[in-house]
Structure 1
Amino acid sequence: MSDPTWQIKLFGTRGSTPVCENGVQLHGGNTTCIYADLLTNDRSKGCIVFDAGTGIRRLGKELSDGTLPDVDSIFILLTHFHWDHIQGLPFFGPIYNPSQRICVFAPHEDMSDTRLQEIFELQMQEEYFPVQLDNAGAKFEFITLEKQTTSLLADGGVRLTYRLHNHPGGAFSYRLEANGKVIVICTDLEHGETIDEATVAFCRGADLLIHDAQYTDGELAEHRGWGHSSYSQAIEVAKRAGVAQLIFTHHDPDHDDDFLARTEKECQQIFSNCRMARDGMEILV
């Protein structure tokens, strides 16, 4: 087996709201945050982070205590701006480091860099948080133009593509490619009555697909329009796209460890190389 290209670590795998109660310790209660590191490059240059849910707090600690490599630049790629995907940023330690460069990217065509910055300034204004964004200390860049971020990542050997998919307010899937290895993130995605063919095409040939699976089929029928997928839909995408490994993420707040473990076994009878995401899970690709 060849040496791995990517290190993926999941820091937040819960959807909608963080949970802290009995029965969720195995899979975790933090909202979405996914770390991606290109192992074949100079690891001090930068890392990629998908979303800034509450899981990003732990990521900040691991970047500062040496568990993960210290980096010059942190690229935060946002799927969308719903609260569970941005609420952790004020608790992300690196934003208070004056020598840290943090690039926040959201590929909305109708949004300016200034407007993107305002979204994060708002959640840290004095009515909500004791430290304002412009006083945090880090060197922030807010980017909405694809060519800028594509160039930044391409310098490190990463090809970035994305597509807008169905979710209230819109959300983006991301595809990362390097050394022939492909990672795809599709969260907060609602397919509709049939599987979205564009999503299947976007995921084609992925070595790792991390796909929204907040609901069972029965639950999905009761939550049409909420912007999420079922386990069976994620499996169908993985099968049709020829995906090597599937990870279910964005767990419903009411799905405890027993439910997720039981459902994982049922799903593995249909698609053997699938697992439930867990806070702290590491995957080498």
Structure 2
Amino acid sequence: MRIKFFGTRGSIPVCENGYQEFGGNTTCVAVFGDTDSDVLVFDAGTGIRKLGKELMQQEFLPGRKIVIAFSHFHWDHIQGFPFFAPAYDPSKEIHIIALGKDLHIPDLKNIFAKQMESTYFPVSLDNMGANFSFILKNVNEETFPDGSIKTYLHSHPGGAHSYRLEADGKVLVYATDIEHGLILDEKLVEFAKNADVLIHDAQYTPEELPNYRGWGHSSWEQAIQVAEKANVKKLFLTHHDPEHNDDFLLEVERLCQERFANCFLAREGVQIEL
């Protein structure tokens, strides 16, 4: 399993000088297996554009699919989709997936069609070209030959889902856009138990967090608490605030590593081999 960050910023992309060491694109994380395996993508923020360019350089054997699973559908998690090059390639098979018992989505396809109406974008969803499947499953777990994927509905305005991917004896947990509240979400701690890698929202500092109650995000301190209680091997903090520049985030990373040695702030382009 190879995990690669293509977008690590929260809320809105940033392009100014001094904001690029950690990346300016919004959320997108890809998981690769063998060269002939499907590609699993978590969220389609602006980072998915660069992923698309990378995938177009790869050979896709018959039956190989791109699977995009969504934590939720706020703007910063879908805004890169119209710029995803494989979506315009008739040879590509793309599955758009939402998984979870508590989903209240009447029409998954319509979420993407709406943002590509002529008012907002020159190409409609139906004219993109790839072979799309829109799959809405009201279950919290799907199994496949080499493992499983599970979801957990956590606190965020409108709701969002964490994902737990278990494959080839390794565990990845992806938990972005989560607000713990005044006490830690113990169900998420259990969901992340013994993960090899936990990717966790950490948009705010502990000092900033009280000013943003109800906005749906966590502090780096809360993310570390989850990792400690869940016995996580490596923690990657993501969804960086667009107001936090490189110097600020480097200092946050230093403070985090004093507390939890295997803690890193996610950077665009960084790969994790499991």
- Mark the runs of 5 or more structure 2 residues left unpaired by the alignment: none
Q: Show the 5 A alignment for 1:85-96.
A: 85-96=77-88
Deviation at 1:262, TM superposition (A): 1.0
Counterpart for residue 58 of structure 1: 50
SS of 2:162 mapped into structure 1: strand
CA contact (8 A) 1:105 1:149 kept: no
User: In terms of mean alpha carbon deviation, does 98-107 or 162-171 score higher?
Assistant: 98-107
Structure 1 unaligned segments of length 5 or more: list them. Answer: 1-5
Kindly state the Cα deviation for residue 110 of structure 1 after the two structures are TM-superposed: 4.6
Does the 8 Å CA contact 1:143/1:149 hold for their aligned counterparts? Answer: no
Are 1:103 and 2:95 an aligned pair? Answer: yes
Residue among 118, 133, 136 paired with 1:126: 118
Aligned residues: CA RMSD: 1.6
Matches within 5 A, 1:73-92: 73-92=65-84
Q: CA deviation at 1:145?
A: 1.2
Q: Among residues 178, 183, 198, which one is paired with 2:172 in the alignment?
A: 183
Which position in structure 2 is the counterpart of 1:3?
A: none
Corresponding position of 2:196: 207
Closer, same or farther in 2 for the Cα pair 1:133/1:148, shift >3 Å?
farther
Q: 1:75 to 1:148 in 2, by over 3 A?
A: farther
* 8 Å CA contact retained: 1:165, 1:189: yes
3-state SS of 1:98 partner: coil
Aligned residue for 1:9, secondary structure, equals strand
Tell me the CA shift for residue 44 of structure 1. Answer: 2.0
How far 1:45 sits from its partner (Å)? 3.5
Give the equivalent residue in structure 1 for 2:230.
241
1:19 to 5, 14, 21: 14
- Decide whether the 8 Å contact of 1:215 with 1:228 is kept in 2: yes
CA contact (8 A) 1:8 1:35 kept: yes
Q: How many residues end up aligned between the 2 structures?
A: 271
| Residues 147 and 195 of structure 1: CA distance in aligned 2, closer, same or farther (over 3 Å) | closer
Q: Distance in 1 between matches of 2:121 and 2:141?
A: 29
Q: Please tell me whether residue 138 in structure 1 is matched to residue 127 in structure 2.
A: no
Between the two proteins, what is the percent identity of the paired residues? 54
Q: CA deviation at 1:146?
A: 5.0
Once residues 140 and 179 of structure 1 are traced to their aligned partners in structure 2, the CA distance between those partners, rounded to angstroms, is 28
Deviation at 1:180, TM superposition (A): 1.5
- Give the alignment's TM-score, normalised by structure 1: 0.92
Q: Which of 249, 252, 264 is equivalent to 1:260?
A: 249
1:29 aligns with 2:18: no
Compared CA separation, residues 149 and 75, structure 1 to 2 (3 A) = farther
Q: CA deviation at 1:148?
A: 11
Amino acid aligned to 2:210: A
Q: Distance in 1 between matches of 2:140 and 2:240?
A: 33
Question: Residues 103 and 138 of structure 2 are in contact (CA less than 8 Å); yes or no, is this contact kept in structure 1?
Answer: no
CA distance in 1, matches of 2:33, 2:187: 27
Shift of 1:150: 2.5
Instruction: Work out whether residues 140 and 150 of structure 2, in 8 Å CA contact, stay in contact via their aligned partners in 1.
Output: no
